[in-house]
Structure 1
């Protein structure tokens, strides 16, 4: 028997006569009527086979994916999450929202298959798997669900191959100048110049505030909770940007963003009744314009983080120092970030050989 409760959920009441006795089981879940009917047949089959309920939830606890995610955001040992990670979690919550946890693994498997067929990157496929698996694991460890259906066997992660992207000095200068010469993208020119020299995430870049500029130490502070690992760090100010940071420190208010755009008022003189400074926000469209106009549509903004870290190491900066600036706990340079090995190639020495080249030998035989 199936009936709908006042809360909008379906109550599934299964009764089966087995060995001369009536076996009764009941579940209350949030799903469609068709899903409830399918679940009723599953419960009956489980009773006949003598198996325990395979539902991954209790009838009085978490029943939808939205409830699971909200529980994860509240009870996870890593909560509160960093803004960037929380954004990914919320995106998944909105994707599946009120989908019932009964049969969720099948729905999620179809979603991952779509990502694979669309040839998305390994990271794009792995992150949702990691988040959903972690959410189920937290709920399971606290007794809110009966198991974790996102197993490593059914949902294996794809090996992530690091992107091998590099830019010459001329290409980096070209990107910055392209942004600076276009009225639609001039507002991201200084941010791009900074990102090409200092390993920084986009979220860290747009959240930098004038009050965090330290001109004496020539650095800017990124506070705890604003980095990927939630640990604060200091970003060095590149020599060619000292004047820019001095100007922002002098003209900007303490809470103003360092990298910003001016709207209304007199933009040139930064005055006027309606003068307003706003954060860059998500400058995806402006960045798309810059990289296409500069002839490098293959570059992602996150690649600037890889490139600047690599350039720092090649310039002689100790790897530990680069890791501290970037905010890495593990040696990401060794695992993910490419090196410029051309300097090493210049040091390669070959042992002299007495053997004549094959081509010369053939010519002598022919003559």
Structure 2
């Protein structure tokens, strides 16, 4: 059916769609106002077909997509690369922590843009991402080893976050990264220290510089950055309380030699003579749950007092080179301890204690498990450990051999209340 003509002397309202025949090319044309460009000018989409019916059909599709909010961002033909660059530099950069931004940029520029950047944003499919993850699984790192599953999973989380923002802004209608199957991260077997192992470590801490720092890790379960971020003003040895307020995080250095044509020639920014904006940086703890006040055991109070006396002696010996910044645990000049140095000291401590090799974070698992052994309620455990979800108790608390035997003894005491423990295997007598 031919389209009705508008009465003479009238015109279409602003923003209305238009359909017309062009004698210049012999085609039917349609124009639909979708929205407004970044410049503020109207964004008019153009379609061209051989017949009027085809143009009408395309115009109606555009109008429905516009009215349903299912049209791509007005005025922009986003590619995945263009969106990722815009997101990480203009949306993420001003709002996230520096270390988070470093991870985002590494994933965006190192893996995502080379892998799927050429796709149109609205044409990206879950299968494209899954193919990328498989490819990354066989990609060699700088050290010549395959990328770790955790690295690939970081790329997945990054693009999922970036595309969620694109959905929120109506650039795309759904997030394919939420559908794509992310690579599985193998769970590491975590074995908390036994009571005997913990005792060996605590003994080895007594004669070491900053040994009390690891006593704090085992007894209170502070994260690495939280322990290194303690200042004396956070601790009240009289009231036996400790406030956790900040965390020390390693931040990559930035090259300071890239102005003009001058470069230092070093590959890594940490080796640049003009390096800047890096090192061990104090930051506020990430979550509200992380800001907490802990009680200090009396034995730890004694250890902290001895540590402070040793620190005062070190300050006198160092003289003018000492930088008094108020840190509880410092290097030999009063400055904050770098997390990498802290890691090396932990490894040396384990060797000195004659204990198996383990991550420093396993001390936190040990502290959480100790609370389980002591029967502390889950809600209180959350407060002590700085967790925001109760589910974290199942991740950090483990059944130790001592607890296993204790449970067995309780079971035996229930069924054989009048018998002595002799290691026998008598069956319970039915009631």
TM-score, normalisation: structure 2: 0.53
Q: Distance in 2 between matches of 1:93 and 1:288?
A: 34
Alignment partner, residue 348 of structure 1: 411
- Cα 1:147–1:353 shift into 2, 3 Å: closer
Which consecutive unaligned segments of at least 5 residues does structure 1 have?
1-18, 23-49, 264-275, 356-367
CA RMSD of aligned residues (A): 4.3
Q: Check whether the contact 2:190–2:362 (CA below 8 A) recurs between aligned residues.
A: no
Between structure 1 and structure 2, the one with the greater Rg is 2
Deviation of 1:223 (Å): 2.2
- 1:240-297 CA distance string (max 9 Å, x none): 221343466785998422122213xxxxxxxxxxxx4333433333333444553412
Report how many aligned residue pairs link the two structures.
Answer: 285
Q: Distance in 1 between matches of 2:338 and 2:198?
A: 20
Q: Distance in 2 between matches of 1:235 and 1:113?
A: 46
Find out whether 1:189 has 2:204 as its counterpart: no
Alignment partner, residue 296 of structure 1: 356
- Cα 1:219–1:84 shift into 2, 3 Å: farther
Q: Distance in 1 between matches of 2:204 and 2:305?
A: 24
Deviation of 1:309 (Å): 0.9
Alignment partner, residue 36 of structure 1: none
Alignment partner, residue 298 of structure 2: 239
1:205 to 213, 221, 227: 227
Alignment partner, residue 139 of structure 1: 166
Deviation of 1:21 (Å): 9.6
Q: Distance in 2 between matches of 1:354 and 1:318?
A: 31
Alignment partner, residue 148 of structure 1: 175
Find out whether 1:279 has 2:337 as its counterpart: yes
Q: Check whether the contact 2:133–2:152 (CA below 8 A) recurs between aligned residues.
A: no
- Cα 1:338–1:347 shift into 2, 3 Å: same
Q: Distance in 2 between matches of 1:304 and 1:245?
A: 18
- Cα 1:238–1:91 shift into 2, 3 Å: farther
2:156 to 125, 129, 149: 129
Deviation of 1:84 (Å): 6.1
Alignment partner, residue 170 of structure 1: 196
Q: Check whether the contact 1:206–1:279 (CA below 8 A) recurs between aligned residues.
A: yes
Deviation of 1:178 (Å): 4.7
2:379 to 311, 320, 324: 320
Single out whichever of 321-330 and 84-93 deviates more from structure 2.
Answer: 84-93
- 1:192-220 CA distance string (max 9 Å, x none): 11101112211212212222112243122
| Secondary structure of residue in 2 paired with 1:258 | coil
Q: Check whether the contact 1:133–1:151 (CA below 8 A) recurs between aligned residues.
A: yes
- Cα 1:240–1:354 shift into 2, 3 Å: closer
TM-score, normalisation: structure 1: 0.61
Alignment partner, residue 87 of structure 2: 68
| Secondary structure of residue in 2 paired with 1:287 | helix
- 1:117-144 CA distance string (max 9 Å, x none): 95946x6654442333122212331245
| Secondary structure of residue in 2 paired with 1:346 | helix
